[in-house]
Amino acid sequence: MLALVGSGEYLPPIEPLDRELISRLPGPARVACLPTAAGTEGADRIAHWSRLGVDHFTRLGATAEAVPVIDRASANDPALAAVIAGANFVYLSGGKPDYLYQTLAGSLAWDGIQAVLAGGGLLAGCSAGAMILGEKFFGFPGWKHGFSFLPGATVLPHFDEIPQAMIRSLRALTGKDTILLGIEGNTALVASGQRYAEVGSGGVTVWSRTGKTRYSRGPLPYWRES
């Protein structure tokens, strides 16, 4: 199960969404918070995201731990990978998507995340954490490959915060054969197999070659075009 969150991680307005995600877990919530996307921002910012995540999920009744995967060396630390694998809910907070992808791809930490998913757990990514779960994402410079959990799609978080002119420009850059998934703040696109749903206070916009549709409060149709 995946949850792609538009923005607002660890803040009070997102608590109802995260309570819903916790309710879908196969057992008591054991959350591993990874501040990896902020790994280049210095010790204070890494500590900020780590503390915020632990405090947030502890308030929600979960057991939570910040796992300091912040570079390739820590991503390949067997002890940290084991902590991740022992969770049933992994949360990737925001920052730089390209750095996040390059740090995790092919690492022991990523093996740990895959073990969580294989055991029926949940991977949630907010902002940069959501972007890397699609087939591609826009980095600097140009397009980057993601983990392709959503083949044929690019994920655009903060969708309700971006000027419409910029959204149209980004849509033009994606190409007509790519699905653009726009996710608003305090909102998640939750995917389980080929079942998709919007959860949270906002909406999810699916923009394909046939048009643009915004969904809220419930199931989405299978978005991938044949």
What CATH number corresponds to the domain at position 88? 3.40.50.880
In this predicted structure, the answer to whether residue 225 has a pLDDT above a threshold of 70 is: no
In a domain, 225, yes or no: no
Residue 18: predicted pLDDT: 98
Strand partners, 153: 179
In a domain, 116, yes or no: yes
In a domain, 31, yes or no: yes
Exposure string of 153-181, with b = 16+ CB inside 10 Å and e = fewer, is bbbbbbbbeeeeeebeebbeebeeebbbb
Residue 226: predicted pLDDT: 36
Domain count of the chain?
1
Mean pLDDT over residues 17-38, rounded? 96
Mean pLDDT over residues 122-146, rounded? 92
Identify the weakest region by mean pLDDT among 56-65, 76-85, 86-95, 190-199. Answer: 190-199
Residue type, 104: L
In this predicted structure, the answer to whether residue 35 has a pLDDT above a threshold of 80 is: yes
Q: Which of 67-81, 139-153, 174-188 shows the highest mean pLDDT?
A: 67-81
Residue 223: predicted pLDDT: 59
In a domain, 226, yes or no: no
Residue 108: predicted pLDDT: 98
In this predicted structure, the answer to whether residue 213 has a pLDDT above a threshold of 50 is: yes
- The residue among 93, 106, 79 whose CA lies nearest residue 46 is 93
Residue 113 banded pLDDT, cuts 50, 70, 90: very high
In a domain, 167, yes or no: yes
pTM value > 0.75: yes
Residue 93 banded pLDDT, cuts 50, 70, 90: very high
In a domain, 75, yes or no: yes
Structural domain range at position 177 = 2-220
Residue 222: predicted pLDDT: 65
